[in-house]
Amino acid sequence: MKIRKAKISDIKQIHKFVNEFAKKEEMLPRSLNDLYESIRDIFVCKDRGRIKGVSALHILWEDLAEIRSLAVSKEAQGKGVGRSLLNACLREAKQLGIKRVFALTYQPEFFLKNGFKGIDKSKLPQKIWGDCLRCPKFPECDEDAVIIEL
């Protein structure tokens, strides 16, 4: 299995993959339009032509980025795919000079095991007043916020 940046030809498969997790309320859904617009943010893990995991690094501010849509297929869980996808995002953040990376997640334990710390969502104003206002769950967000200093 190899981690690489997403290609246009991956987007429809990524859309289906991410939204399968969203149907189970394990993450928020993503539209095809959103995925095409943010393709440069997205990493994929593929094995034999099938997506086994995805993640994205979305830049929000000069010193702040977000890990989005980190998901690993059931059969690939526990094999280091999630950690590899997370590390790919964090390496890119470091290369760009980003100092802090956060995630809003239903799986905070995964991030905490990988060096993140819990944080109050109110400490993330760029996020709260940007994307969160458009979320159907706002202001009743049930995701946990985690952050890492690079």
Mean pLDDT of the chain: 90
**pLDDT range class, residue 138, cuts 50, 70, 90:** low
Q: State the pLDDT at residue 140.
A: 64
Question: Per residue in 26-47, pLDDT tens?
Answer: 888 899 999 999 999 999 999 9
Domain edges within the chain = 2-149
Choose among 105, 106, 108, 55: nearest CA to 84: 55
3-state secondary structure 45-93: EEECCEEEEEEEEEEEECCEEEEEEEEECHHHCCCCHHHHHHHHHHHHH
Q: How far is CA 18 from CA 23, 29, 125, in A?
A: 9, 7, 26
Q: Hey, how many other C-beta atoms are within 10 angstroms of the C-beta on 31?
A: 10
| CATH number, domain 2-149 | 3.40.630.30
pTM greater than 0.75 (yes/no)? yes
Do residues 55 and 27 make contact, with C-beta atoms less than 8 angstroms apart? no
* pLDDT of amino acid 126: 61
